[in-house]
Amino acid sequence: MMKFLLFIFIFFGEYYGIKAQNNDEIHWKTFPELEIALKENPKPIFIFFHAKWCAYCKKITRQIFTKPTVIKIINTNYYAVKMDVETQDTIVFDNVTFTNKQSLTQRNGIHEIPLLLASREGFPFSLPATIILNQDFTVQNRVFEYYTSSELLEILKPK
């Protein structure tokens, strides 16, 4: 009986520990997961484009995306997608196939999705790039610089 109670205690302790940890981080989705989620329950989308070499991207991930208030707002009000702009993955979204065609001709090529959503006319592609879309995938805001948690919370306020 004691072993059984110990097992139950450990099992539920692990379960609730994992559940608590999950509330301590942003629930990042892939684009295929995003497509499914949008069909089930439409809501705005928060996309963070980054690269392994981007110091400001790492700083945002480490210092901003770990703040409880930021985590809560993003997890509650948005679907969050975090994408390495240099990924070689083929991504199918809304029956359209996206690839990293630049990687065939240049080192550190940028994937089609960030080029589509985070390019600015007259400027070279730059990171960090944060894109906020409404549930219909219309761009609501685009940020191409480092931001503090208070600046991000201001950006995330409903308009």
Q: Minimum mean pLDDT among 28-32, 37-41, 90-94: which range?
A: 90-94
Q: What band does 137 get if pLDDT is binned at 50, 70 and 90? A: confident
- Burial label, 3 (beta-carbon count in 10 A; 0-12, 13-18, 19+): exposed
Q: What band does 24 get if pLDDT is binned at 50, 70 and 90? A: confident
Q: Nearest Cα to 139, choosing from 65, 47, 60? A: 47
Q: Which residues pair with 143 in a beta bridge?
A: 130
**Per-residue confidence (pLDDT) for residue 22, from 0 to 100:** 54
Domains observed in the chain: 26-156 (3.40.30.10)
Q: Are 150 and 64 in contact (CB under 8 A)?
A: no
Would you say residue 113 has pLDDT above 60?
A: yes
- Tell me what percent of the residues of the chain surpass a pLDDT of 70: 85
Would you say residue 46 has pLDDT above 50?
A: yes
Alpha-carbon distance values, 103 to 83, 87, 100, 113, 117 (Å)? 16, 9, 6, 13, 18
Would you say residue 34 has pLDDT above 50?
A: yes
Report the chain's mean pLDDT, rounded to a whole number.
Answer: 86
